[in-house]
Structure 1
Amino acid sequence: MTTDERNFRSSYYEKVGCFSVEEKKSLDKLLQDDIRNPAKLKHFVYTFTVPAQQRSLLWSLIMGIMPLHKSNTKYVREQRSQVYEDLLRAVTVMRSVDVDKSRHLVLYKMWLLENNRLLHSNVRAESQPDDNHFIEIARTLLEIFDDEMETYWIAKGFYQYTRELKKECGKLKELTQVLLKREDNALFYGLEKLALFDVNSKLLDDWYTTCFAGVICETVLVKIWDKVCGGAKKIVVFLFIELMKDIKSFICDLRSQEELKVLVEMIKDQDGVIVNKAIKSWHSNNSEVEYVH
């Protein structure tokens, strides 16, 4: 079966809530092994559609949150849970955040405390430029996963992935320009007019570094994040290009990056059309696996 046929089949199965027999058997086998193979797990999320009910386990194994040795899973989960409960109890006692509201801020304060950046309730933690990246990632993941303990650990793991993306932003922006010039020169110059690709411009860097957290609807954005967990750095470029194509007719009237930001954040893509186009385009243009760690 060709790659295009497989991808079309996978997309169709996903829309109706089913997965192919071959993919399901393959994933079940990977997860049932006494010692799970991280390279094979990465390859699966990189190549196939990830079932929602197994996403947290897959990500946790790939990120090293859960052990590859199946027999150690219960013990390690208990340890992770204990750390989570200790941090939650601490920020509650310190009254550093209202634990009944803004759960993403609760996870953020716990993260600050774990990194020795939150001293006590009447001392403001020193804010760092990338703190908002963690907040947006946590906010997105809380909409994807039900278990808040797992979400906290996955947020930390995914945030570390984005640190690698941050290092690659220069190259990713260069690739963006190359692809835009090749596919739609007018669109490229419209964005260049807004100085989007300038060295000092941070808008595209922020989108790439957070993998569009808070921009795209979480339930469809997670398919992009699957690929990032599998090692696909470049997929954020293809998502950006598809977003720009979707609003192409409006770009010539924009006068600032702030106007572009507002316009992009209105898209959401709740039906996943843009995300699916981005994945298809990425598959068509990508021939080798690149792991981010």
Structure 2
Amino acid sequence: MTTDERNFRFTYYEKVGCISVEEKKSLNKLLQDDIRNLSKLKHFAYTYTVPAQQRSLLWSLIMGILPLHKSITEYVREQRHQVYEDLLRAVTVMRFVEGDKSRHLVLHKMWLLENNRLLHSNVRAGSQIDDNHFIEIARTLLDIFDDEMETYWIAKEFYQYTRDLKKECGKLKELTQILLKREDIALFYRLEKLELFDANSKLLENWYTTCFAGVICETVLVKIWDKICGGAKKIIVFVFVEMVKDIKSLIFDLRSQEELKALVETIKDHDGVIVNKAIKSWHSNNSEVEYVH
């Protein structure tokens, strides 16, 4: 294969979120190192779609759930498992999950207990909104991973990632407006008329701080979450821009944010068209708008 062919293939895979045999081998090598390289692991998640069978391990290493030193991985995993079992037993004995078959709500109760909030869930303003964010993230992750112990730990750490996004929502809204003005000024004005970008509006913030959990089908949303784990925070802006461009004709018939919320949350993107377009657009604009990491 010539250099030009390899470069074309590499660029194409990057844009559509696919991964070649060479990249799979590269990831296997990174995961098998005695001391895994965190920067390289993050770069892989940032650049490629992670193979499903290796996603929980890669995310766990990046998030600090499991150690970079391979020799103590099983020991730490067992400690994580023990904490999970202790929390599950506690909320069960305390009858906070009695008869509750919704696993994401069980994980939420465990999370509240671990954070000393189970008996004091209203200790601060806005806690209910944050709780809903955790619940949506946990619900999505339960559809991605099979092991509930791993899912609990990943949900906790991914939620912490979203707290950084929440702090930067003002900047993310500004970037959203910049991109919309450049790509579709009429659509921007329509969304502005719906007051989506107003300081008091939390609709866009809620979508961004849950990284579209519950909105986009988890089987394709996970491509975006791979990149968020790798440090690509602003990719969620490109997801939103591609979503509203896709339903542009319907948006012009809306009269309120409530209608906009209902419309956007019917988008599941099962075939991944929107997500792949967002990844391609993010790559195209990467040098201009992405955080340095």
TM-score range, shorter chain: over 0.9
The separation in 2 between residues aligned to 1:24 and 1:255, in whole angstroms, is 48
* 1:239-261 CA-partner distances (Å, limit 9, x unpaired): 00000011100111101111011
Q: Give 1:125's aligned residue.
A: 121
Say if 2:271 is the partner of 1:267: no
Pairing 1:178–2:174 present:
no
Given that residues 136 and 210 in structure 1 are in contact (C-alpha distance below 8 angstroms), is that contact kept between their aligned partners in structure 2? yes
Segment of structure 1 superposing worse, 4-13 or 49-58: 4-13
Alignment of 1:213-232 (within 5 A): 213-232=213-232
Aligned AA for 2:30? L
Q: Which secondary structure state, in structure 1, belongs to the residue aligned with residue 198 of structure 2?
A: coil
Q: Distance in 1 between matches of 2:17 and 2:227?
A: 18
Which residue is 1:51 aligned to?
Answer: 51
Aligned to 1:6: 10
What are structure 2's unaligned runs of at least 5 residues?
none
Q: Deviations over 1:109-146 (max 9, x none)?
A: 00000000113xxxx73253311000000000000000
- Judged with a 3 Å threshold, the aligned counterparts in structure 2 of structure 1 residues 8 and 38 are, in CA distance, closer, same or farther, namely same
- Unmatched runs of 5 consecutive residues or more in structure 1: none
Alpha-carbon distance between aligned partners in 2 of 1:9 and 1:161, rounded to the nearest angstrom = 26
Task: Return closer, same or farther for 1:142/1:291 CA change in 2, 3 Å cut-off.
Answer: farther
Secondary structure in structure 2 of the residue aligned to 1:34 = coil
What residue identity is the alignment partner of 1:253? D
Give me the whole-angstrom Cα distance separating, in 2, the residues matched to 1:179 and 1:224: 18
Q: TM-score, normalised by structure 1?
A: 0.93
Which residue does the alignment assign to 1:142?
142
In structure 1, distance between residues paired with 2:106 and 2:292: 31
Q: Tell me the equivalent position of 2:236.
A: 236
1:29 positional shift = 1.1
Deviation at 1:28, TM superposition (A): 1.0
Count of residues paired in the alignment = 284
Q: TM-score, normalised by structure 2?
A: 0.93
Q: CA RMSD in A?
A: 1.8
Q: 1:153 to 1:3 in 2, by over 3 A?
A: farther
Do the aligned partners of 2:17 and 2:276 also contact (CA within 8 Å) in 1? no
The one-letter code matched in structure 2 to 1:249 is S
How far the C-alpha of 1:25 sits from its partner, in A, is 1.6
Structure 2 counterpart of 1:22: 22
Secondary structure at the residue paired with 1:129?
helix
Q: Aligned partners of 1:12, 1:125: CA distance in 2, in Å? A: 42
Structure showing greater relative contact order (alpha-carbon pairs closer than 8 Å, 6 or more residues apart): 2
- Taking the TM superposition and a 5 Å limit, the aligned residue runs for 1:139-218 are 139-218=139-218
Deviation at 1:203, TM superposition (A): 0.2
1:216-252 residue CA offsets vs partner (Å, 9 max, x unmatched): 0011101100010000111000000000011100111
8 A Cα contact 1:232 1:291, kept in partner: no
Rate the CA distance shift 1:250–1:219 in 2: closer, same or farther, 3 A. same
Aligned-pair CA distance for 1:48: 1.2
- Identity over the aligned pairs, expressed in percent? 80
* 1:128 alignment partner, SS class: helix
Aligned to 1:290: 291
Q: Please identify, of 171-180 and 19-28, the stretch whose mean Cα deviation from structure 2 is larger.
A: 19-28
Contact 2:17-2:223 within 8 A present in 1 as well: no
Deviations 1:46-104 (A, max 9, x none): 01121000000000000000000000001000000000000000010111123651100
Kindly indicate whether the alpha-carbon contact (under 8 Å) linking 2:239 and 2:278 is maintained by their aligned counterparts in 1. Answer: yes
| Cα pair 2:180 2:241 within 8 Å, conserved | yes
